[in-house]
Amino acid sequence: MPLDPMPESSAVLEVVLEDAPTCVCGHVRDAHEHYRPGTDCALCDCPRFRKKR
């Protein structure tokens, strides 16, 4: 698991999060695309991926 070498790169992280497809539940699409069948979120009870805006 690679550690972030620059902890002060929060601005970059913000951009990345904004650019990444995020569900209305607040989790990225990765959480909805897992080895289990279906598109439910792996981190919460969100039933399916719904992109914000």
**In this complex, which beta carbon is closest to Zn ion, that of residue 12 or of residue 44?**
44
d(CA 32, CA 34): 6
d(CA 45, CA 22): 15
**In this complex, which beta carbon is closest to Zn ion, that of residue 13 or of residue 44?**
44
Provide the residue count of the chain. 53
**In this complex, which beta carbon is closest to Zn ion, that of residue 5 or of residue 38?**
38
What part of residues 17-46 is at the interface with Zn ion (CB under 5 A)?
Answer: 23, 25, 27, 41, 43-44, 46
**Which has the closest alpha carbon to 44: 27, 22, 29, 30?**
27
Q: Which positions touch Zn ion (CB under 5 A)?
A: 23, 25, 27, 41, 43-44, 46
